[in-house]
Chains A and B, each alone.
Chain A
């Protein structure tokens, strides 16, 4: 069983409230479409940066829920960030890993390394308060109330079904300008929303 990025983000949207959400890669496109908000901050073009951004926000805003929408390959790039998250142990922190076992999902669907790596085991070993693997949107919706109620940090590995890759008939488009300006624009918007602009 598995779910799509959009299904997972749809559930997260239902439960996010005023949570700050850092996001990257394929989850970025889904959360931007499903749950647009000045409280979203994309790590783009910066694969691997979402977890660090989220940790920094969780430290600076301890009374606000922080959710990280990470990619599996993205987390592998900065796996050491789990060590810091385990050390700090922010109670307000939910770390979703969108695991489709691919790099460039929906584009080229290339294999990623770490086929045998257990994200939940690594997170628990680093000191996360909980870790679980979730395969359906219904199970994610059922888990969300407790994830929000119980102190984190929580790791939630989402089993994601990748979209079809590009083909000769469906060629990949040029990367839009937005992708190169949105990290600055979204950080400015989030600071405006938080009242931290200076």
Chain B
């Protein structure tokens, strides 16, 4: 497979977000999800808020959710590691069903198609174990065939009143 075969079209992800009623994004923008950021920031029906740090993206999203909006939170894997306590508080103790979109910054292309835990790079190979250690579901998008996992993440988060992580293992495509 060519590297680009691992890209999930950003338009398809955007369509799932619309279907799930998402109308807000809080983010510390990441190096992986550029195509999706571009679409969401330019969606007139989307409130898109850049934050200084991932803790703030999570708490602001919680405030939005309590106030009636349907936010997602976008960050990269380093950002996820940066905000674990806020994720514990908001996504578990607070019972807020936020879906986090996490980009796999630093993933070596030779790891594509292989388990994330086999990556040579700590920020890549520890992300899934850390999320699962918190007891939260982790959905890795490895190819376009994984797109149904996005909707599944929303369904699981909302049913369990807990956060869920959608992990972009490769750059989403600009189409």
Contacts and interface: CB of A to CB of B under 8 A. Distances in A.
Interface of A: 20, 22, 41, 43, 45-46, 48-61, 77-78, 80-81, 83-84, 87-88, 180-181, 183-184, 187-188, 190-191, 194-196
Contacts of B86: 46, 49
8 contacts: A46-B59, A51-B59, A57-B64, A84-B49, A84-B50, A184-B93, A187-B66, A194-B67
A179 to B, nearest CB: 10
Contacts of B71: 56
Contact of B69 (A59, A88, A195): A59
A52 B95 contact: no
Number of contact residues on B: which range applies?
A: 20 to 34
Interface of B: 24, 26, 47, 49-53, 55-69, 71, 85-86, 89-90, 93-96
A162 to B, nearest CB: 25
Contacts, number: 122
B53 A56 contact: no
B51 A84 contact: yes
Given A45-B89, A180-B93, A187-B94, A57 B66 contact: yes
A54 to B, nearest CB: 6
A53 B63 contact: yes
Given A80-B51, A81-B52, A194-B68, A187 B89 contact: no
Contacts of B65: 56, 60
Contact of B85 (A46, A58, A88, A191): A46
B98 to A, nearest CB: 11
A88 B24 CA distance: 14
Contact of B66 (A46, A48, A88, A191): A191
B56 to A, nearest CB: 5
A51 B64 CA distance: 12
Nearest to B63: A56
Contact of B58 (A20, A52, A80, A180): A52
